[in-house]
Structure 1
Amino acid sequence: MAATVFYLDDIPEPGAIAILDGPEGRHAATVRRIRVGEAITLSDGNGLLAESEVVAAQKDRLELTVRNRVLSDPPRPRVTVVQALPKSDRSELAVELMTEAGADAIVPWQAHRCVANWEGKAHKAVEKWRAAARSAARQSRRAYIPEVADLCHTRDLLDTVRDIVAAGGVVVALHESGAARFVELPFDKSTEIMLIVGPEGGLDDSELSAFADAGADVTLLGPTVLRTSTAAAVALGALGALTSRW
């Protein structure tokens, strides 16, 4: 795979010309200054990768000949991160880190103790997260862009937790009070994993009880207390080593 990945929704068959324009084309042509003859990898963000060569370059647009295409298998087990809203100055950093660490889906969550409040601005905030996930996926050369869901509240999240557990998945609520150790959970036997990361003030008692009642494992990740913006990336790294994802 070439060193640079850019996203294009519809990648044509080998031998055809692909047009990379819009924000992706502008970034490739203006920011990265990619020129004729250079090789880049195109992806549709859903697993399809295509090696291509630039045959024409303009200010905000590239034309490329597609050399070949290959469909990349998604990592297994699938991992969703439920991320309590971090403070504004660390919000997009959290998305970038968990994308680079391999999250398959990201769910922004308005937890009880969140300092940030997306009331009345959830759509704009979610779009920023989606843009951050796309940029981080490009930087880390991912074939799959993580799905970023709409803002979630605890009642709806509990229904999802029950569904995943009922289907044989593993749901982990990361918290320092957890009796279980992260490395002891049966991740290798699961086809789906959900990680729940609380806000800077931590999960409150009612949330911990509700998650446990719904079937989640309240679990200690490690010996140190991590910031909400970095906890998911650390947990995803551990999962990479504990499962077949790496």
Structure 2
Amino acid sequence: MSLPVFISDTDADVGESVELGGAEGRHAVTVRRLQPGERIVLIDGRGGRRTCVVRSTAGRDRLGLVVESLEVVAAPDPRVTIVQAIPKAERSELAVDLLTQAGADRIVAWQASRSIARWAGKEAKSLAKWQAAAEAAAKQARRAFIPQVSGVVGAAGVEKLIADADLALILHEESSTPIREFTFSGEVVVIIGPEGGVAPEEVEAFSAAGAHPVRLGPEVLRTASAGMVALSAIGVLSQRW
């Protein structure tokens, strides 16, 4: 059975002590009811994965640990940023969950012109929910890296991301170019449109900025799952997998 995974920003080495507190400590002590002698995995979100032995518990939210082993996972190449158009509320956190499971390195919330959901006035709260969803999914997927969530960007922000990337792709059902035609390395940006697709004027502007419209296949994918499929394709077409 896999060891339970928790998040800690510790930089402790093998043999050193770690205290897990806060929400993660509370979950370990009061929900998982971990006891001395049991083992857990700590991920720091930056590539460190530590197997630890429980030495003590205190109160309802503190767990004393000793690092038993440390694995430092290399950052993936290419590094993939997903620009995710904000989906409808019921699919919003699902999109982040699937992107995290599939290995997204960064998730940028995009207020596309066709997005039905609007985050005006609640950007901070909505981004916090996305980050929490990313952290929960990273633990379930046993990822050493936790994708950082940022935004909210408009068209100009997306164009800047395109300009800074080594390769930028727009998933677009009207494109005839398959994703397999590209070579993936360095910084890659993948743009996912909302339920109604990327608007023609956005496709034109992003293409002018250097992005390439591509198709993943004959099916039209939902916005919440399209990024996961794209990341899977990139995994096969690059050194990520």
**3-state SS in 2 of match to 1:225:** coil
Match of 1:219 among 197, 214, 220: 214
**Does 1:193 pair with 2:188?**
yes
One-letter code of the match for 1:60? Answer: D
Please state how far the C-alpha of 1:67 moved relative to its aligned partner. Answer: 1.5
Letter in 2 for 1:145: I
Could you list the per-position Cα deviations for residues 117-144 of structure 1 after superposition, in whole angstroms to 9, with x for gaps in the alignment? 0000001100110111011101111111
Structure 1 counterpart of 2:235, from 218, 240, 244:
240
1:30 Cα deviation after fit: 2.2
Q: Which amino acid aligns with 2:235?
A: G
Asked whether the equivalents of residues 123 and 150 of structure 1 are also in contact (C-alpha less than 8 Å), the reply is no
Identity rate, percent:
46
In structure 2, distance between residues paired with 1:122 and 1:215: 28
Q: Once structures 1 and 2 are overlaid, which stretch shifts more, 71-80 or 22-31? A: 22-31
* TM-align CA RMSD: 1.4
Q: Which amino acid aligns with 2:137?
A: A
Partner of 1:18: 18
The answer to whether the Cα contact below 8 Å between 2:183 and 2:238 also exists between their aligned partners in 1 is no
Q: 1:148 and 1:23 mapped to 2: Cα distance?
A: 20
TM-superposition CA deviations, 1:49-99 (whole Å, max 9, x none): 211101113432211111232321111110000000000011001000000
Partner residue, 1:148: 149
Give the Å deviation of 1:11: 3.4
1:116 paired with 2:106, answer: no
TM, length-normalised to structure 1:
0.93
Runs (4 or more) in structure 1 with deviation over 3 Å come to: none
Distance 1:119 1:68 in 2: 45
Query: Where do 1:1-246 residues align within 5 Å?
Result: 3-58=3-58, 59-164=60-165, 169-187=166-184, 190-246=185-241
CA distance in 1: counterparts of 2:32 and 2:80, whole angstroms: 31
Q: Indicate the SS of the match to 1:99.
A: helix
**What TM-score results when the alignment is normalised by the length of structure 2?**
0.95
Report the AA paired with residue 106 of structure 2.
Answer: A
| Greater CA drift, 133-142 or 176-185 | 176-185
The answer on whether the counterparts of 1:173 and 1:216 sit within 8 Å (CA) in structure 2 is yes
CA distance in 1, matches of 2:109, 2:57: 38
- 1:170 and 1:137 map into 2 onto residues whose CA distance is 25
State the one-letter code of the partner of 1:82: V
- Give how far 1:12 is off: 2.1
How many residue pairs end up in the alignment? 240
State how far apart, in whole Å, the 2-side matches of 1:240 and 1:31 are: 35
Tell me if the contact between 2:183 and 2:237 (Cα under 8 Å) persists in the aligned partners: no
Runs of 5+ consecutive residues of structure 1 not aligned to the other structure = none
CA distance in 2, matches of 1:243, 1:198: 23
